[in-house]
Amino acid sequence: MPSNEKTNPLGTVTRLFLSSKESKEKRRGENAEAVIWLAVSDGGMNRAYLTAGFAEAFSDHRLNVTLLELCSGLPNIGYYFALEPVQYLLSVVEKEHVVAGRWSERLGYLSARSTNVMIGYRNRMLPLNYPHMLFLSFTFPSSVPGHHSLFDVRRVTQAYTGLENEGAGIPDAVVAVGEGNDERTVEFIENVREIFPDTLLLQIATVEESGLESNEKGTIDAEGWAIPRSVCYGSSRRVPPGDLLFSELAGNILQLLSFRRKKSMKGSDVKGA
């Protein structure tokens, strides 16, 4: 059932997200306190715009964010992080080209066409301070040429966590953005549920109405919200979108992850008693 709770104030949400009695060694990734995937339908939505907006919003919540974008076309995040055209256009014609940089002290980014190129660049990414989020975006469905399978995407996040254990690289949350309950979105969420049963599944469904609302449709059985379809088309402004909608969504995602983490900790304490 979708959550109708309002986002907590910024400081409260961040403290909830970080509250944990686990040692760093027990976290899913030694270099990341959370791994989140943003999966965007290829149905005319501007993945780069959404990716830049969420990454900026997460960093505004006092988190250090490493943004990874698997991208085979335009626009890519380099456009919204104000790179010169020659810098972000090369990735279209040169398969090995990487778009990388630092947007702010809290936000570093990398865009590449292939998982192998992205993994190979791992040691060149500047480390970010704790608390650190690994945020990766890609397009679904994987059956379309140039798109990536869930297993390939996991290889990337596993490489960037720096761990080899059983759970390394598995996302804490997957946020799927699609046209309501269309077949591609339903199939994608079902695939994630089958492969990563412990991952928090969230859906952002596009609708004609304005504003941020809870997604009450329920046929996909994923927590989520409905947002205006126009948001997904992007903007010509060459900066990450800074409107309140992205901040609200980022805050809600962190809140849901926090509650799930605390609930899991309580369950572990009961078993160990």
Return the top range by mean pLDDT from 43-52, 178-187, 237-246.
43-52
pLDDT band at 232 (very low <50, low <70, confident <90, very high): confident
pLDDT for 3 beyond 90 = no
Distance CA 196, CA 36 (A): 13
CATH number listed for the domain at residues 10-272: 3.40.50
Read off φ and ψ for residue 19, nearest 5 degrees. -70, 115
Instruction: Quote the mean pLDDT of the chain.
Output: 77
Looking at residue 221, its pLDDT comes to: 58
Residue 130 has pLDDT above 80, yes or no: no
pLDDT band at 164 (very low <50, low <70, confident <90, very high): confident
Mean pLDDT of 229-252: 81
- pLDDT band at residue 135, thresholds of 50, 70 and 90? very high
Least confident of 24-33, 44-53, 131-140, 177-186: 24-33
Give the model confidence (pLDDT) of 58-72 as tens digits: 999 888 999 999 987
